[in-house]
Structure 1
């Protein structure tokens, strides 16, 4: 007789408690569907791309009428459900006057989520995309550094994104939630 091993998944409250009591001292981990996942280290190209995107998105926000409608967060956690608390590279959330001091942003607060991929492309497509779609994140960008493309996923339904567009180096990408938020890919990939 074969006995199947049972996994014991961790919920968000337990994850936070483990951090508070010092069990999780390690940086660079995420809670994904109840499992603690070690994130890949970020290299200089990844970090530079995140910085450029932050500059471009912040500039677009300041030039738009969205100054007090959105908050741009960088590599901060969001709570998707009771078992997932990823730390995306960039997330644009609805404005909240306390800047989410009392509680983390939840999936209902997310307007746009961005992952920058150099060594994590497979994970960002195969694990993160379904995770974000299941949580009804309305728009998800994967910045593919190697191909110099941005994959845009939107229209989540039944745990999958129903639509995908790919933008190349000569394109300008406008956010689905507000077209005033846009980036030129030549500037992103320098």
Structure 2
């Protein structure tokens, strides 16, 4: 039976679901763009990474990996791995800490302990739009490392579409995870 939808009086956008996005990606639809991510049902082209961004990502990854190993944690940092946040969200953060690093497909959101975005040209989007989708999905902790202002914006305690707790850590100062007991890293190399 065909379901009848109400008559539109103005154009309405159609949001892609994660499974639609993955099918399009597998078919090569996004190949000319090299890297994309799905945010709130919309496909976004992701910029090339310049040296300040790449260096900050490498240094934070190394510091997180070393600290997690020293703690004998089950968490593992992965770089540029997409997360299945919701039916319409599959972002590809710079670093994600997960307790399910192996397996097929996207990282399940329930396995995510911390997401890190490195920002140079995307600070506004990372602090606003992405913070909303990560909080909405219940990601426990979210960091945005702003290479321009040399600050890490640390957010935790997701509630609805925002993080209830925030603080800023200057590059060069140590940062302690708010939600992962014992996880502390230095940032002097940033």
TM-score by length of 1: 0.90
**Please, which runs of 5 or more residues in structure 2 have no aligned partner?**
1-7
1:11-50 aligned within 5 A: 11-25=17-31, 26-50=33-57
How far is 1:183 from its partner?
1.6
Distance in 1 of aligned mates of 2:182 and 2:156: 18
1:82-101 aligned within 5 A: 82-94=87-99, 96=100, 99-101=101-103
Asked if 1:51 is matched to 2:58, the reply is: yes
Where does residue 152 of structure 1 map in the other structure? 154
Where does residue 80 of structure 1 map in the other structure? 85
Where does residue 9 of structure 1 map in the other structure? 15
Distance in 1 of aligned mates of 2:153 and 2:11: 37
Where does residue 65 of structure 1 map in the other structure? 72
Count of residues in correspondence between the two structures = 182
167, 170, 185: which is aligned to 2:169? Answer: 167
The answer to whether the 8 Å contact 1:148/1:169 transfers is yes
CA offsets, 1:26-73, max 9 Å, x none? Answer: 32210111110111221111001101111111111221121xx11211
Which aligned runs of 4 or more in structure 1 are off by greater than 6 angstroms?
none
CA offsets, 1:147-190, max 9 Å, x none? Answer: 11111011001111111111123421111232432222222x2x
How far is 1:132 from its partner?
0.5
Structure 1 stretch displaced more, 125-134 or 55-64? 55-64
**Please, which runs of 5 or more residues in structure 1 have no aligned partner?**
none
- CA separation of 1:21/1:169 partners in 2, compared to 1, >3 Å: closer, same or farther? closer
Distance in 1 of aligned mates of 2:171 and 2:13: 43
Where does residue 106 of structure 1 map in the other structure? 108
The answer to whether the 8 Å contact 1:93/1:109 transfers is yes
How much is the aligned-residue C-alpha RMSD, in angstroms?
1.6
Distance in 2 of aligned mates of 1:170 and 1:52: 12
Distance in 2 of aligned mates of 1:19 and 1:38: 12
1:109-128 aligned within 5 A: 109-128=111-130
Where does residue 139 of structure 2 map in the other structure? 137
How far is 1:90 from its partner?
0.2
